[in-house]
Amino acid sequence: MKQAKKNNPKVWFITGSSRGFGRVWAEAALQRGDKVAATARNLDSLADLRDKYAENVLTLSLDVTQTDQVKEAVTAAYNHFGKLDIVINNAGYSLVGTIEEASMEEIRALYETNVLGPVAVIQAVLPLLRQQGYGHILGVSSNLGHQVIPLIGYYCSSKWAFEAIYESLATEVKPFGIDVTIIEPGAYATEFGSPTSLKFSGSLPQYEDLRAAVFDEIKNYSRGNPNATASAILLVVDATQPPLRLLLGSHNLTALREVYADRIKVWEEWQEVAIAAQG
């Protein structure tokens, strides 16, 4: 790990700043003297930031599913502060329901927020970051960007798509001096389980046993303190060579080692079939 990149005070643009990780990181940046364009769907939820940090914070109403609104917010932040150093795609929510239960409308809405919304932000900021010749785009994925849990398969799939987009982006923008990092938290005691971050599909009785078992397992997860993540994010944005991926939490790496070991085992068991299929 190399650091620290000197370009202070930095200017941050953060989606979903009203609560959870977005709020924690916005406050961490402001507390050290950086400037933040904090966005949320409900502008009133950012009033305390505006009152406390005055000219160092610009609060903006933003629904990431509205592309024109995204462009307006990015332009407003850039014009206000004169630059953008750090852009964090944090807005998102989870859809609870089996693959059979979720409606097409619910799936589309999830992807509008979790996948297409971040893309809209990326496309809006890139011309500005290229013009600057620097910048750092971070995105909040999940340890579920590498594995799945039943009942939230569509949420997991949105994070798998998110990961692919960001990994491709990292290679594409590296020549322009722009860094890319995917943040992959495990279970944390945020408001992510609240009604505003969790939506439920209709439930079929055939999945009741599965639903009960999964919910019981989730209740027993060891959840991290979201406030403890601030120092990690500050280290990443200050690093001269930030990582493409950063897991947050103490249990993720052990679980992901098992996930990938199982995948490799199955691929190896079927390798003769794969080779024969080459033709």
Reply yes or no on whether 155 is catalytic.
yes
> Does 164 sit behind a cis peptide bond, omega within 30 degrees of 0 on the bond before it?
no
CB 138 within 8 A of CB 237: yes
Reply yes or no on whether 207 is catalytic.
no
155, 158, 166, 201: which one is catalytic?
155
141, 142, 157, 158: which one is catalytic?
141
- Ordered strands of the 178-185 beta sheet: 57-61, 35-40, 11-14, 86-89, 135-140, 178-185, 245-248
CB 115 within 8 A of CB 219: no
Reply yes or no on whether 158 is catalytic.
no
* CA 140 and chain centroid, separation: 2
53, 93, 159, 201: which one is catalytic?
159
| Residues annotated as catalytic (active site), given as ranges | 141, 155, 159
